[in-house]
Structure 1
Amino acid sequence: MRIGIIGTGHIGKSLVKKLSAAGHDVKVANSRGPGSIDNDTLSTGATAADVVTALTDVDVAILSVPLSRLPDIAETVRALPATCVIVDTSNYYPARDGVIAALENGMTESLWVAEQLGRTVVKAWNAIGSDSLARKGKRKGDPDRIAIPVAADSDADRKIGMTLVEDTGFDGFDAGPLETSWRQQPGAPCYCTDLQASQMAAALEAADKSRLPKRRDLSVAVIMERMGDPKTNPDADFGVRICRAIFG
């Protein structure tokens, strides 16, 4: 597929490398311009571009930027052909994104994103930590392969999202429509807990929407407190352990 990826943070960079290595034609852009994209990000064959060029003549546009930055590219995304599938990897963290009243009042994040963009989206790769995405992909059929929930209102778009998740080394799990994608938001049992496909349905079902914000904020506080002490710098799986303890 021809894929345009916006964002070169930890998630975006891994998606660029993994999807281009899987044989897709990938263009990548960020807010700082193509000259800021390092050689490692492009090492598996992706091409650096500006935002408009990265989203020109693509089958799939993957938006891997902070949720609060999505309105900045909304006009460009809204102008994409109706046939272009839009994938969003973002999550709402008030300390980073600022307080968004609609989300504080319980609006599902994916529906808010779709409203801002003026386009429906596929929600994918939002429920896995950047370190797990970068290093824990496995071949299909491996008993330890991690699953990633994929939500979308269009069955066809959801299948495309699941296929691309598979190409990054994880099992794509059908999480249904955007209306229920709150089940994969921060604070939910499946969020950054590195579950396998056999565990995912139960985790999605166990989510309690009213408890997500408190669990999300508690996990952030615990992780930031630990990371703030250089003498007890956590290992790469610390976040997974914390999320399992708090969200389960």
Structure 2
Amino acid sequence: MIDAGNYRPRRDSPLPGLKPGGIDSLWVRHRLDRTVYKAFNTIHPFALERGGRSAGRSGRIALPVSGTAGTWKGEILWLVEQLGCCAVDAGELHDSWRQQPEMPAYQADFDRAGLRRALTQATLDRRPVLEPRTHEDLDALARRWSPSSQLYEAARVALPAAIAPTQRLRA
């Protein structure tokens, strides 16, 4: 399962059992009893839609993927690349706090080197990077956003291969 969400205590209802400062993706993994990967949570849908570029082109936005190493993580990294972004392995799920709101990597649209640098600059004291008003504005935009046919088509092409990784891996 890919967790693309961002729990924000100021905005969202309390999550039973999630301690203040806890990692929401670990909470999701525990609640669903499933393997969870954190991805697509650092990019705003507008940027994902306009930011996809073919491999080798300049200006590709990098996206972190956190979770257990293995075939499925490789598939998610591959999916990020297929959608026109640079995939960056951001470590295990317990490291996913580095890509959460208020961290340097969040909605910064970095290239691969910039994203790696931002992930290492994240600190547990979680000093805000975006002002609360900016979060409110982005949340309001996200509620009104509707993906274009271009983004739907990119996902339609990439997702069937991601759903059947053993077929793709044999090819």
**TM range, normalised to the smaller chain?**
0.7 to 0.9
Residue equivalent to 2:43: 128
Do structure 1's residue 220 and structure 2's residue 132 form an aligned pair? Answer: yes
Q: Are 1:200 and 2:115 matched, yes or no?
A: yes
What is the TM-score of this pair, normalised by structure 2? 0.73
What's the offset of the Cα at 1:198? 1.3
Say how many residue pairs are matched: 140
1:169 to 67, 80, 84: 84
Q: Distance in 1 between matches of 2:96 and 2:57?
A: 26
Give the residue type in structure 1 aligned to 2:25.
Answer: S
Partner Cα distance (1:159, 1:205) in 2: 21
2:113 aligned counterpart, secondary structure: helix
Distance 2:46 2:54 in 1: 17
CA 1:103–1:142 in structure 2 vs 1: closer, same or farther (change >3 Å)? farther
CA distance in 1, matches of 2:48, 2:76: 15
Residue of 37, 57, 63 corresponding to 1:148: 63
Q: Over the residues paired in the alignment, what is the CA RMSD in angstroms?
A: 2.3
User: Any idea what the Cα deviations from partners look like across 1:132-159, whole Å, max 9, x if unmatched?
Assistant: 0111111111121110000111322211
Instruction: Write out per-residue CA displacement over residues 23-50 of structure 1, whole angstroms, 9 at most, x where no aligned residue.
Output: xxxxxxxxxxxxxxxxxxxxxxxxxxxx
State the alpha-carbon separation in 1 of the partners of residues 138 and 37 from structure 2: 33
Match of 2:96 in 1: 181
Q: Report the 3-state secondary structure (helix = DSSP H, G, I; strand = E; otherwise coil) of the residue aligned with 1:148.
A: strand
Structure 1 unaligned regions, length at least 5? 1-85, 229-248
Residue identity opposite 2:133 in structure 1: A
TM-score by length of 1: 0.52
Q: Equivalent of 2:12, from 91, 97, 105? A: 97
| SS, match of residue 138 in structure 1 | coil
Q: Which structure 2 segments of 5+ residues have no match?
A: 141-171
**In the aligned structure 2, how far is the partner of 1:126 from the partner of 1:205?**
17
Overall identity of the aligned pairs, in %? 36
Alpha-carbon deviations, 1:76-107, whole Å to 9, x = none? xxxxxxxxxx1111110224421336445222
Q: Larger relative contact order (C-alpha < 8 A, sep ≥ 6)?
A: 2
Q: Aligned letter for 2:89?
A: D
**In 2: Cα distance, 1:99 partner to 1:113 partner:** 13
Cα offset, 1:207, TM superposition? 0.3
Q: Within 5 Å, which residues of 2 pair with 1:51-90?
A: 86-90=1-5
